A and B are shown apart, each in its own frame.
Chain A
Amino acid sequence: MLRLPAFIGGICCLAAAGCAPQVGPGGSGEKVAYLSDRTAGPNTLDPVQGSSVYDNRACTMVYQTLLQYKYLRRPLELAPLLLEQMPVVSEDRKVYRFRLKENVFFHDDPCFPDGKGRELVASDFFYSLKRMAQDSNQPKGWWLLKDSIVGFDEYRQQQNDAETFDYDVPVEGLKVINDHEFEIYLKQPLYRFTYVLAMFQTAIIPREAVEHYQTKFARNPVGTGPFRLERWDVGSQLIYVKNPNYWEEYYPADPGINKDGSEPYLGYSADKALGFYVDAGKRLPLVDRVELKFYVQAQPKWLKFRNHELDYTMVPAENFEEAYIKRTAKIRQEFVDKGIRSHAEPLLDMIYIGFNMEDPDFGGYDEKHKWLRQAIALAIDWDEWNEAIYNDLNILYDGPIPPGLEGHPEHHTLSHSYRGPDLPRARKLLAKAGYPDGKGLPKLVYYLSRGEKNPEAAEINQRNLAELGIRLDVRLVDFSTLTDALRNSRAPFFSLAWGSDYPDAENNLQLFYGPYKSPSSNNFNYDRPEYNALYERARVMSPSSERTKLYEQMRDMVIEDAPMIGSMARTRYYLMHERLRNFKPTEDFFNWPKYLNVAE
């Protein structure tokens, strides 16, 4: 009688043994790259609706923007992608003239007549920009174009109020010259406009696809990219295949050492030694298929990497000591012996705690409140935070400008900063502000999103501030509630991280610009006329030493007024198997899978 269950069990095991799917490259010599992301997956494949880095990665496989960043060069440099050459900018830097590449075709798709993709033309780009203006598309990237192109804001207002959104109505600042040439007129010479052209939200979309798929368009992407979407298993994986009609793009050529013996760019020799120029000159993309898998938890992802089912992975903090010797942050020998390579990539990252400057108790520009905020800043123990949650791997720095950008303090520290922990000084300032040992202060309500490590971070901060006598009322909320609270200026004290959208400190400094107060990105509601004036001057300048000086002034103002306590930048550690070639990890742009190659 007990035989029955045993029998069933036996059958199951046999079935199981025979059922393990093939792991590794697909049959018949097809080259497959196995990538992964730590997420439940993108919410949409419509660039206009995307906002997270996961949307970015998923979209840029299929869609392309006018500009891209050069893959291997550091510091980051923009280069034309769908353009023949970089845009020609007028003297006053308000007119940009573009020339599209010829013979770039959209993917073959049922939305086109005969299913054949047609050639890319100038009006396609304007169509894509206009889509970013249409509210019913749920665009998340409109703020990139806000107040920059002549006539565009008016067009947006007009069309959104009208019955139907008309894409054919012309916009003054968007002028088509012919099929491959067009001009854009800016209201002011914003320097960041060129960066915007490289951001995935401005990727080019064919009108036919949107009209054909309507609401299903977010699941049926049609672009000019090197890959086409084959399948999307929601919550599980995205499968892309090579676009057979991809236009002629080639792997970057080897620049060679300069005549005077110096490197053509930072890190060139390392790249060369790793074999990144072996495929120079080859036509892209180099692999036939890319499988992008999603994992909400770190552990399965890590185990799959160890099992060779994934080609690379970011190392989760909890497994760091498994792969690296913590003391030296060097990869362990046994991993090297297995052919695994390591790469450490510092991020353009700003992890900070912010104050709401309009809060009656903790905000305000007068000295008393300033001392109060500075005291709080001095009580936060960044070392402990770093140690407990990030394995002591983060870079701690003063001010809002991340490492690697103009304006970042040398050696990450400034003598006039208020970086904790420094309890004696904090106590003095707190007493000076009129709250000795925190007496007379109400509870400080602290908002954080319910991320994985945030409860621990909240506890650490709570403990540290208790040393000063300040009581924290910790509110762990989901991200949408946090966003809501910030938009409505309900959060007096909050923890956030800001990842740079492009490699320019302006992206961080705009967070303190008065006119961008809630409900825009200035969550601090910081509004100082002196700061605003500096910002307005700096944002129309191209990189120069004067501009850097302005950045430094702004940075120091922020440090002194303390609307923000910070900051920290994460460093990502990547591990990759020998099989994956040409992989130079970066989180600043995501269209690099086309450069990847796999060994057989």
Chain B
Amino acid sequence: MAAILLLALLCGGAFAGLAYEAVAGGSRSSAISNSRIFGVVRFTLFQAIFSTLLSVVPALLVARALSRHDRFFGRELLLRLFAVPQALPAIVAALGVLALYGRGGLLAEPLGHLVEGRWPGIYGLSGILIAHVFFNLPLAVRLFYEALQTIPHDHWRIAGQLGMGGFAQWRFIEWPVLRRAAPSIAGLVFMLCVTSFAIVLTLGGGPAATTLEVAIYQALRFDFDPFAAVVLTLLQLALTLAIIAGLALLGGRYAEFASLSIVSRRYVQPKAFEAIANILLVVLAALFVLAPMIAVVISGLKSELGRLVSESSVQRAALTSLVLAFLSACLAVSLSFGLVSTRKRLEMLRRNAGSATLAERLCDGGASMILVVPPIVIGAGWFVLARHAGDVFAIAPVMVVTVNAAMAMPFVVRTIRPSFDAAAERHDRLAASLGMTGWYRFRLVDWPAMRVSLLSGFAFAMALSLGDLGVIALFGSDSLQTMPYLLLSRMSSYRTADAAGLALILAALSFALMSLAGRARSGQ
């Protein structure tokens, strides 16, 4: 219950700040105009719609191509590759896209020939779209691929027996499944694009390409216009709530990690033409996903890594990041554990008597509710509130730790719940009959059964917090710098080589943690 209370406090405080500012600051003049707000909202929606289309439609085809063949050399590897972008901090991906397609990027010269002149770079809409597709295309491919795996094996046998061609198989077998999965997957991608912050901040470049979240940040950090921030925040909140409501109507669910499974046998092999098209499609998608990551590595290695690592500001930022991420992960895991065990206890108390109580359902979905409220919105609320109370930057570390922990909780809950529930089913009555409670029970019964999933959740939460550039963008200062924040400030002072080096270090750290989380999960 403490966990829910903390989440409520976190959101409540933010809203109190916003409300106070809206009332008290209403008379004060604000520099923001209606047309500016309208423009920001329009751009937010516009880029999100385009990003979604560009991610989801190709993903449909790639997922199908991947699942069409009995044998597909490197399929496992590709699916694993497609999981990597999710493990990368957004700012690293943004940098990778810049390092590849930017004005001084690796591809600038060949692209320059293409446009017959100097390659203008990809700041603005094009950069945002590419980065969003880089993140969401692989995610959508994995989710669609997972959906295709739910087709009963017998259906492929029937297709083989009836002699269905490629098109008939698409029409009667694959498309119906994909169509059912599409709304929730598109909804998820749309949501991710509407609330994307770091990418728009780094690649947006200019008032023409600003989303609501970035506008909130600018209003607070540069224009010192809290009233504008309040208006923008409320708009963002309304927008995300509308999307969530829409998703709920579509029966959408938040995506989980696609599990890799073996493709069921096919009895009609694709014709040569289709096979070539499939291979081409998959190779193109793989290159698109792989290239920015390679660019991060190449440009990172080209920077003076040795000097960077020995710089005291870098060392301090790395240490700060690790400490904050560690604390945040501790908080996320212990709160999630509390939530999961409370839920189970309530369920046991109920024992098949009627439907779940409100408290039980709160424990179930309470953590997910935080996803509705973007971190920037919470940060903005507290920022405004703290401004009245005194020093904004004094509460910065607390903010970073708690908000990041809250953001990781839905995922951590999902990671640890299955093993907790299974352990509880098996051991609860035995432990009760032996009189084991509290710490002893945890140490002797729960910990051995849940160690793997707890560690996995911990590593995941830590990676998420480590790469986050949300709250820290608002609360960061010279006295509190994390790696992503330092990366951002090097980028904005045009020290590109430094930024590239930092991105490589950050990517390596996040990736190590994520694969730790993944390994623990798959070893379960």
Is the pairing of A and B real? no
Binding site for B on A (CB under 8 A): none
Binding site for A on B (CB under 8 A): none
